[in-house]
Structure formats: C-alpha cells, structure tokens
Amino acid sequence: MHGTLNLVGYGLSAIGPAIATGLIFAAYINGVARQPESRNVLQPIAFLGFALAEALALFGLVLAFVLK
Amino acid sequence: MHITGHLVASGPGFVPPSTSDFNLPSIVGHSAYTTKPVVAVFFSIILISVFFILASRKAAVVPGKLQFAGESIYGFVRKDLAQEIIGSGFLAYVPFLFTLFVFVLVNNLFGIIPFIQFPTMSHVSFPYVLAIFTFVIFHAIGIKKQGVVKYLKGIAFLPGVPKFAYILLTPIEIATYFLIRPVTLSLRLFANMFAGHLLLLVFIGGGDYMLHDTHLFMKILSPFSFGFGIVMTFFEFMVQCLQAYIITLLSALFIAGALVDEH
Amino acid sequence: MASNNEEGALWSIMGYLISGLLIWGGIGFGLDHWLHTHHYFFLGGLLLGAGASIYLVWLRFGRQ
C-alpha cells in the first residue's frame, strides 16, 4: 500500500465542514418550515454560512495537495 | 465482462478495479474510433433520433403510449427547466436544453443497461465537449443580448463596490465565468459517472472473486456482495437521472444569468 | 436573486470559492516560487482569496 497521509488528514478535516453544512441547512429548513415568510431574511444568512463552511473545506483540499 | 478476464488473468489475490478498467479495447479492428464509448455515443444518437421521430410522427390530440412518453420528457424540460428558470423568451433555448438533457440521460443510463453497461460520460472528454457547448452558447447569448463591452463589464465589475476592492474581486469573477464554470460543469458529471461505475465494478468484481475463491466461507458471503451490487445499481439509476437533470439545470441557469441585466 | 433557484446559487457560491482560492493562492504560489520563500505568500494568498470570495458571495447573495 502506498499513498500520502495528507489525504487521510484531508478526509478527517472534511468531516467538520460537512457537519457544519448539514447543521446550517437543517436550521434553515426548520426556520422556513416554521415561518415561510422568513425565507428572504434567512436565505442570505444560510448562503453566507454555507460559503464560510465550504471555504474551510476547500482550504483543506488545497493544503492537502500542496503542503509537503 | 472485462473485469472477469482481468481477475482470472491476474492470478491469486483480489485486484481492485482501477482507471485501467475504463480503457476498453476497440470493438472493430484497432482504431481509436471504434472503442466502446464512441460506439455507445453513436448508438445513443440513433436511439434518441428513432425514438423521438416515432413518438412525434403521428401527433394526435389523444396521445398514444409512445407519444405520451416523448411528450412528457419534452414537457419536463420545457416547463420545469426552461420556463421556470429562464422566464420570458425561454422558447428559443428549449431545443438546446432538451437535446442536452436527453443526450446526457441516455448516455448515463448506458451504465446500467445490460450488455452496454458503460456510462459514456465516465470518459472525461465527452463532458468537456458538452461544457464547451454550454460555455459558447451562454456567452454568445450574453454578448448578443447586451453587447460585448457591456456584457464583459457586467461580469468583471460588480456595481456598488469600493474601487480598491476591484483588484481583489475582478480576477475571481473572470476566472469563475471563463474557467471554473465550464470545468466544474464537466467534472461534476464525469466524477459522478466515473465513481459510480467504479463502485459497481468493486461490488460485482468482488462478488465474482469471492464466488471463485476456494474457501466455502467466501462462497457463502459472495451473494451479499452481489446483492449490494444490485442495490447500488438502483442507486446509480437515481444518480444518473439526477446528473442529467443537474447539467441541464446549470446550463439553463447560466443562460438565464447571461440574459438578465445586472444593473 | 430569485429565491426559486437556490440550487444554482449554491453551485455558483462554490464556484466563486474555488476560483478565489485558485487565483490568489496561485499568485501566492508563483511569488513563493519566484522569491524562493517557503509557502508564506501561498498561505497569505489562500487567506486573501478565501476572504475575497466570501466578500463576493456576500455582495452577490447576502445583500438585501
């Protein structure tokens, strides 16, 4: 077996953003389901939270491939 | 069936499927133009043409079975994708979206249709070509609608931003529109089809290996691997339909984005 | 932003993030290569790119 431990590390670090994205959209769906008219307020917040979580995941991806 | 020959030829020990399983030999002769994916693409074109010519030949007010099938696919792309997303003036883009959807759908479904069992889009060059089509079309629409200078200015310079921020933002916007969008469009389709086919190879090939193993224990367990392969085949059916939908949806969204004036 | 194509918005957010990291990280990587420094410009470029693309996402999707 051969490979690099970087990818194992990336796999572990991707768990965090995955859970974060799940939580963000769970809360967003909950909010919209309880109060449909709040959608316009919640949507930008959900998107920004998604962007922040996703940026960390992509950060990990880039670092896993570049750092030696 | 190439996986079986691969395993038998490699002797003892399980050899997991790899990228080399996607390089299939040519069917007729030794030409690169008669390999399985290329033949499958041509076959899909014939299949789609024949189906829709038959479905639309006798257009009746009360549709027959074939006409109903053809019309429901067309109606789905037209109503749920084109009209919903592009809005007014959507009719001009329905032919492109419809062709894209049906072509990708049929070629994806080849991955689970018996005797073909190879998703054409798991070779990355096919999604690249589709993404180039979408890329050229949505930029052409934007330039035609808004003019070259105004269209490029709308992409590169977002209104309502302090001047110094343009140094940071303009390269990102340009890269997104001219590089990331076509690349992600094609890679998403490719990666899904590639991974799905690899998954099926793992389960079916693994079951095959276990069945031919000398231990009785492995023989008893092999149906589980085959059973999971069958479950994954149904899962793949879902993924294949979804990916055909997503590439059409994103193409429609790009066209809609090129049509609206951002100012 | 119309609220009915959330899926498209999510994909384009991801596109912005990828290209932000790619462009500014790439510029940093090039500077490192050129100046023979060890990953400092690259890491700075990544942070800058992530910040810029999140700002861009806020401009496109976060403003009311």
* pLDDT digits 0-9 by tens, B111-161: 999 888 899 999 999 999 999 999 999 999 999 988 899 888 888 888 878
pLDDT of B85 reads 87
In chain B, how many H helices and how many E strands? 10, 0
How far apart (Å, rounded) are the C-alpha atoms in residues A30 and A46?
A: 12
Look at residue B136 and tell me if it is in a domain: yes
Query: Out of B84, B158, B180, whose CB is closest to C15?
Result: B180
CB B222 within 8 A of CB B207: yes
DSSP state at residue B24: P
Query: Out of C25, C58, C61, whose CB is closest to A62?
Result: C25
How far apart (Å, rounded) are the C-alpha atoms in residues A62 and A68?
A: 12
- Collapse the DSSP code of B18 into the 3-class scheme (helix H, G, I; strand E, B; otherwise coil) and give the result: coil
CB B182 within 8 A of CB B135: yes
Query: Among the residues of A1-68, which ranges form H helices?
Result: 5-13, 15-34, 39-66
pLDDT band with cut points at 50, 70 and 90 for residue B62: confident
pLDDT digits (tens, 9 = 90+) for B177-210: 999 999 999 999 999 999 999 999 999 988 888 8
Interchain pair C55, B168: CB under 8 A: yes
pLDDT digits (tens, 9 = 90+) for B221-244: 889 999 999 999 999 999 999 999
Range of the domain at B39: 23-259
How far apart (Å, rounded) are the C-alpha atoms in residues B174 and B166?
A: 11
Which of B190 and B29 is assigned the larger pLDDT?
A: B190
- Chain A touches chain B, with at least 3 Cβ pairs below 8 Å, answer no
Interchain pair B184, C60: CB under 8 A: no
Residue B164 has pLDDT above 60, yes or no: yes
pLDDT band with cut points at 50, 70 and 90 for residue A2: confident
For B64, phi and psi rounded to 5 degrees?
-80, -175
How far apart (Å, rounded) are the C-alpha atoms in residues B64 and B48?
A: 18
C-alpha separations of B73 from B58, B98, B184, B221, B252 in Å: 17, 9, 26, 41, 16
Number of domains in chain A: 1
Look at residue B160 and tell me if it is in a domain: yes
* Mutation for A interface: C7, C61, C63, most A CBs within 10 A: C61
pLDDT band with cut points at 50, 70 and 90 for residue A1: low
Interchain pair A44, C17: CB under 8 A: no
Query: Out of B165, B172, B249, whose CB is closest to C7?
Result: B249
Amino acid at B38: V
- Collapse the DSSP code of B35 into the 3-class scheme (helix H, G, I; strand E, B; otherwise coil) and give the result: strand
Look at residue B8 and tell me if it is in a domain: no
Tens-binned pLDDT, residue by residue, of chain C (64 aa): 444 577 778 888 999 999 999 999 999 999 999 999 888 899 999 999 999 999 999 988 887 6
Look at residue B17 and tell me if it is in a domain: no
CB B120 within 8 A of CB B37: yes
Interchain pair C18, B180: CB under 8 A: yes
* DSSP letters spanning B41-82: HHHHHHHHHHHHHHHHHT--SS--HHHHHHHHHHHIIIIIII
Query: Out of C7, C15, C48, whose CB is closest to B176?
Result: C15
CB C54 within 8 A of CB A51: yes
CB B58 within 8 A of CB B70: no
Q: Does B242 touch chain C (CB under 8 A)?
A: no
- Collapse the DSSP code of A52 into the 3-class scheme (helix H, G, I; strand E, B; otherwise coil) and give the result: helix
Interchain pair A51, C57: CB under 8 A: yes
Number of domains in chain B: 1
Instruction: Write down the pTM of the prediction.
Output: 0.85
pLDDT digits (tens, 9 = 90+) for A3-62: 788 889 999 999 999 999 999 999 999 999 999 999 888 988 999 999 999 999 998 888
- In degrees, to the nearest 5, what angle opens at C-alpha C11 toward C-alphas C6 and C12? 95
Which of B55 and B6 is assigned the larger pLDDT?
A: B55
Which residues lie closer than 8 Å to C27 by C-beta, 6 or more apart? C41, C45
Q: What is the CATH number of the domain that holds A18?
A: 1.20.20.10
Rounded to a whole number of angstroms, the distance between the first and last alpha carbons of chain A is 19
Here the ipTM equals 0.86
pLDDT digits (tens, 9 = 90+) for B84-125: 888 888 899 999 999 999 999 999 999 999 888 899 999 999
CB B140 within 8 A of CB B157: no
Interchain pair B158, C59: CB under 8 A: yes
pLDDT of B11 reads 52
The DSSP bridge partners found for residue B35 are: B26
User: Per-residue b/e over A37-55, b at no fewer than 16 CB within 10 Å?
Assistant: eeeeebbbebbbbbbbbbb
Look at residue B200 and tell me if it is in a domain: yes
Range of the domain at A19: 5-66
How far apart (Å, rounded) are the C-alpha atoms in residues B221 and A14?
A: 33
Amino acid at B248: T
How much is the average pLDDT of B162-170? 88
CB B27 within 8 A of CB B34: yes
